[in-house]
Structure 1
Amino acid sequence: MMIKIVKSLYIFLGFFFFGLGLLGIILPLLPTTPFLLLASFFFVKGSEKFEIWFKGTDVYKNHLEGFVKNKAMTLKQKLTILIFADCMIAIPFFLVDSILIRVILLIIVGYKYYYFIWKIKTVT
């Protein structure tokens, strides 16, 4: 019973993030790739049927397949994710008075840039 509830939650979250990813295609403020990566993760955890369906969609093929197969992204995808993540990290950075938390957030930002620059190939 509990496993069925958890799998249903994963499927729901898969569709939720898939919807946000679709909005990200239309709205330049929302990053498409991270939401689709989350959707893929939740579909894999939730149901093999939905995983197969998701991987067969044009959205997956156009926005994620290259990253999943080749660990590569376009420069635009990288910049969109980095800028969006920086904005999200800036909120607690400026709202929190703790020096320790600010240092941790700066380390996260530094590692994020290191990973995107050196570990993920840039393709055209």
Structure 2
Amino acid sequence: MRIVWLLIGFLSMGIGAVGVVLPVLPTTPFLLLASFCLAKGSARFHRWFTGTNLYKKHLESFVENRTMTLKTKFSLLIPASCMLILAFLAMQNVYGRVFIIFLILFKYVYFFTRIRTVPAGQNRIPEVEG
């Protein structure tokens, strides 16, 4: 089973790396999946993955502090919204369309109320003195 986790992890990492270059392919979900799968498959590969620039640039702040840059948020939300809009247009069922609209709204509300937005290049939440 470890080999399956490692294969899925490396495949996800590859897709996530391609997503850095292609704007229509989201990077962060694939890198999160890669991190999870590599951790399940091998502690050594997980340590290696968390040390890569790919992880540090796109995931580290989210994993540690639940923060993302505005660019990262939109790189996740826009492609997913486009896919949901295509599903909305293809669907004839009124209840299905209402559900898709709800899902799109929920994603944006969640991303902008539950995940803190930080300026580009800032990986950590500033410490509050007190």
Same fold (TM over 0.5): yes
- Deviating beyond 3 angstroms after TM superposition, the runs of 4 or more aligned structure 1 residues are none
Could you tell me which residue of structure 2 aligns to residue 88 of structure 1? Answer: 83
* 1:45 and 2:40 correspond: yes
CA, structure 1 residues 101+45, in 2 after alignment: closer, same or farther (shift >3 Å)? farther
CA-based RMSD of the aligned residues comes to 1.4
Could you tell me which residue of structure 1 aligns to residue 18 of structure 2? Answer: 23
Could you tell me which residue of structure 1 aligns to residue 117 of structure 2? Answer: 122
Greater share of helix residues, 1 or 2? Answer: 1
Deviation at 1:83, TM superposition (A): 0.4
| Distance (whole Å) between structure 1 residues aligned to residue 69 and residue 116 of structure 2 | 8
Structure 1 residues not aligned, in runs of 5+:
none
Identity of aligned residues (%): 46
What secondary structure is seen at the aligned counterpart in 2 of 1:115? helix
C-alpha deviations, 1:54-75, integer Å up to 9, x for none?
1111211121101111111111
Deviation at 1:22, TM superposition (A): 0.9
Q: How does 1:43-122 map to 2 (within 5 A)?
A: 43-122=38-117
Count of aligned pairs between the two proteins: 119
* 1:35 and 2:39 correspond: no
What secondary structure is seen at the aligned counterpart in 1 of 2:68? strand
| Distance (whole Å) between structure 2 residues aligned to residue 36 and residue 101 of structure 1 | 30
Structure 2 residues not aligned, in runs of 5+:
120-130
TM-score of the superposed pair, with normalisation by structure 2: 0.83
Aligned partner letter, 1:29: V
TM-score of the superposed pair, with normalisation by structure 1: 0.87
